[in-house]
Chains A and B, each alone.
Chain A
Amino acid sequence: MTDLLAARAQMAMSLAFHILFAIVGMAMPLLMVIAERLHQRTGESIYRELADRWSKGTAIMFAVGAVSGTVLSFELGLLWPQFMAFAGPIIGMPFSLEGFAFFLEAIFLGIFLYGRDRVSPRVHLLSGVMVLLAGTASAAFVLCANAWMNTPTGFTGSPAAGVTGVDPFAAMWNPAAFSEVLHMTCAAFASVGFAVAGIHAAMLLRGVRRELHRPALKIALAVGAAFALLQPITGDVAAKHVAEHQPIKLAAMEGHWDTERGAPFRIFGWPDEQAEETRWSIEVPYLLSFLAHGDPRAEVVGLKEFPRDERPPVAVVHVAFQIMVGCGLVMIAVAGIGAVFAARRRELPAWYLRLLVVSAPLGVVAIEAGWTVTEVGRQPWIVQGILRTADAVTPTPHLVIPFLAFTGLYVLLGVTVIVLLRRVVFAADRRQAVPYDMSDRTSAEVPR
């Protein structure tokens, strides 16, 4: 493994890990605030229990998200010092604002999670709303910084000669910022909503605590479905943007080799980078031209327009894109069925609950695949057209060691979180089954 590959692997692994926790920190506050509001309005204790239980899981996930995010902010320098020496000042504004937003999120999360007995109900709910707003803002700022790597604007100078002038706000509101923020924010809410709905659907199928899991499922599914149904619109905005600003990334996503008018949309298929063609795909005529440019006869640029050393790994990008779109489409279908049940005020049947359990991980898979598309699709550049990834990597040797060490650490953390979440989820249900005064002492008997 070369040092460059090890650095890329460590960065990819760290991002993939962090995203799982970051989206929970973003989206769970919405679910908790809804439950808390329902509790305060109806006075029903079940909503309060729900808010409390969700907040336990959120606290665990948020803590891991915070530390893995800290690791990332250091890794930018530990792995890519030449990138940061160049880009740090340019994308400093969103990173600084993200610092403040994250600070507010952490402060109000502390109050929301641990302060129920210490502040008034109104302040308690309000601090939940602050967590939601600050968390979403913090994600939006980070996304602006990432978008700059795709469409770098707002500066004069170059990596070699140094940066001479910066317009921090032009850099922050770079062309890709809007579509990335929109698409990823909706994705976070949709995928967390689906994941939580899946867990509660599983509990309903086990037949435990229906009075708790039914409202929980309703809230989570409503949030997940609403954002899933928005995703085709935000995805369309993102795709049209990529077509205009990063045509090579779009071509890689589609495994599209030859520039042509009326380009087809390819479903499945395997791009062969040697032969420069995509095999075994189902082609839907004119659809790519229409999706990318809003005109079925529009010209779509192909990969062959670009020299080989400027092309991303086409197969990875194409397959990841297929996975993202596939997961998204299934989620839309599941959301649509749920909307029909809701409109008819029908009880959710067992087969639909099973469907929800199966679709629980789809959103998360789609997010990981989507980040693969946007990050691998930008290669070999770390800053599109400006700085190559290979030129940004640290001269530090033996990078495979930190890669393996952090991978091991994250595997350990991931396993611990899973074990812990299972315990928290199941112990809470079990407690109702044992006499009240024994509930803590019998904890050793709770099955894992």
Chain B
Amino acid sequence: MTPELMIAGVMLVALVLYTLTGGADFGGGVWELLAAGPRKDAQRRLIDDSIKPIWEANHVWLILLIVLLFVCFPTAFAAVCTALHLPLALMLVGIVLRGSAFVFSHYDPLHGRGALRWGGVFAVASLLTPITLGVVLGALGTGFDVDRATGLVDTDFLSEWLAPYPLAVGLFTLALFAFLAAVYLVREAEDPELRADFRARALGSAVAVGATALVAYLVAPPVIRHDLSVSPWATPLHLATGFAAVTAIYGLWTRRDALARASAMAQVTLIVVGWAVAQYPYLAYPGYTIAGTAAPASVLTPILVALAVGGLVLFPSLAYLFVVFKRRRAA
């Protein structure tokens, strides 16, 4: 295995972990926005309490991903940032608003009254990030040609992402994050009625995940459909994803919440891995491959060592954080 492939593997792990943690945080934003019924405030409080201590740490996966991209695949990073400037900028706006909205709503002693009444804007804006993240990931599958004259990406700054397929992937991502968040919240809620609220939401969003996935497949350009099925891994991956999805719904339906959560996490992981397998060996199709854009080995090898050493410090700390805040407290 080449060093650039190992780095790409680490980036995939970071993307999976960001989806499972940060993605669910954004999904929580969706449910905060859609909070309704007699337990509206309790729903919001549960979401706030679940996300607050881990939001910052969850968020660093995205930073790690972007840093590895610009350090190890610099020309791909430059091309992606150039062609996808607009969706990336919108994604950042969503991150900024969502990240600050947490602390603002949590620490405001007046609870959003007075001068901060427009705080609801934050929640609406938090839909931006899942959609644009999906748009970006969907867009990487087509249209990144290298301009032979300049050596830079040949782009009109719109056509790579302003197309049915990336937009459908954006909606799919939003549904997926909302689904994941609802499944987590079923497990986090201690009040049975609150648990029932989120169980209903989880089942509803599971339907939305299926529907948006179908739409994305139907509008996918031929090259994407080809990529989705060409790898020998594709069929087993699709089957496993489907199995995980069905198990998650079964778990929710029969109130096996731990099973539902594990299956939903497996489902999301498999979806991201499936995307990566379809994308391989391209970072951005067709001009930018993993091998073709990799930095020299003198960069990659020390970074791999740093990642290994950093991981030794990071993972125990991260595990400790989740144990402290996510272990069910003895009643």
Chain A positions near chain B (C-beta within 8 angstroms): 56, 59-60, 62-64, 66-71, 73-74, 76-78, 81-82, 84-86, 88-90, 92-93, 95-100, 102-104, 106-111, 113-115, 118-119, 163-169, 394-397, 402, 405-406, 409, 413, 416-417, 419-420, 423-424, 427, 443-444, 446, 448
Contacts and interface: CB of A to CB of B under 8 A. Distances in A.
Interface string B305-324: 01100100110011011001
Contacts of B77: 77, 81, 84-85, 88
Name A's interface SS.
Answer: helix
B56 A96 contact: no
A68 B52 CA distance: 18
B303 interface: yes
The 9 closest A-B pairs by CB, nearest first: A92-B71, A77-B81, A81-B78, A89-B295, A106-B56, A100-B310, A67-B99, A88-B74, A427-B109
Nearest to A82: B78
B214 interface: no
B105 to A, nearest CB: 10
Contacts of A102: 60, 63
Contact of B64 (A77, A90, A99, A448): A99
A100 B314 contact: yes
B116 interface: yes
B307 to A, nearest CB: 7
B100 interface: yes
Interface stretch (B28-36, B87-95, B173-181, B195-203): B87-95
Interface of B: 52-57, 59-60, 62-64, 66-68, 70-72, 74-75, 77-82, 85, 88-89, 92-93, 95-97, 99-100, 102-104, 106-111, 113-116, 152, 157, 295-296, 298-299, 302-303, 306-307, 310, 313-314, 317-318, 320-321, 324-325
B56 A110 contact: yes
A56 B107 contact: yes
Question: Which of A70, A98, A118, A444 is most buried by chain B, counting CB atoms within 10 A of its CB?
Answer: A70
Contacts of B302: 93, 168-169
A92 B298 contact: no
B92 A70 contact: yes
A58 to B, nearest CB: 10
Given A63-B56, A76-B70, A419 B116 contact: yes
A114 B52 contact: yes
B270 to A, nearest CB: 25
Contacts of A70: 59, 62-63, 92, 95-96, 99
A89 B324 contact: no
A78 B81 contact: yes
A131 to B, nearest CB: 11
Contacts of A100: 306, 310, 313-314
A420 B299 contact: no
A420 B122 CA distance: 15
Contacts, number: 223
Given A70-B63, A88-B74, A419-B116, A118 B324 contact: yes
A432 to B, nearest CB: 14
A59 B107 contact: yes
A132 B127 CA distance: 34
Given A70-B92, A103-B64, A396 B82 contact: yes
A424 B109 contact: yes
Given A93-B302, A95-B70, 14 more contacts: A60-B103, A64-B103, A70-B92, A70-B95, A71-B96, A77-B70, A81-B82, A82-B78, A89-B71, A92-B303, A93-B306, A103-B318, A397-B157, A402-B85
Contacts of A118: 324-325
Contacts of B306: 93, 96-97, 100
B296 A164 contact: yes
B53 A89 contact: no
Nearest to B103: A63
Contact of A99 (B67, B74, B93, B296): B67
B96 to A, nearest CB: 4
Nearest to B156: A397
6 contacts: A70-B95, A76-B70, A77-B78, A103-B314, A104-B313, A166-B295
A115 B67 contact: no
A169 B306 CA distance: 12
A68 B320 CA distance: 27
Contact of B324 (A111, A164, A409): A111
A165 B302 CA distance: 13
Nearest to A87: B74
B123 to A, nearest CB: 14
Contact of A110 (B81, B88, B114, B325): B325
Given A60-B103, A77-B80, A110 B74 contact: no
Contacts of A111: 53, 320-321, 324
Contacts of A110: 53-54, 56-57, 321, 325
A95 B71 contact: yes
A92 B79 CA distance: 18
Question: Which of A56, A77, A397, A444 is most buried by chain B, counting CB atoms within 10 A of its CB?
Answer: A77
Given A76-B70, A93-B302, A163 B104 contact: no
A74 B115 CA distance: 31
Given A89-B299, A169-B302, A444 B113 contact: yes
A68 B114 CA distance: 25
A199 B317 CA distance: 34
B56 A78 contact: no
A166 B60 CA distance: 26
Contacts of A167: 298
Contacts of A444: 110, 113
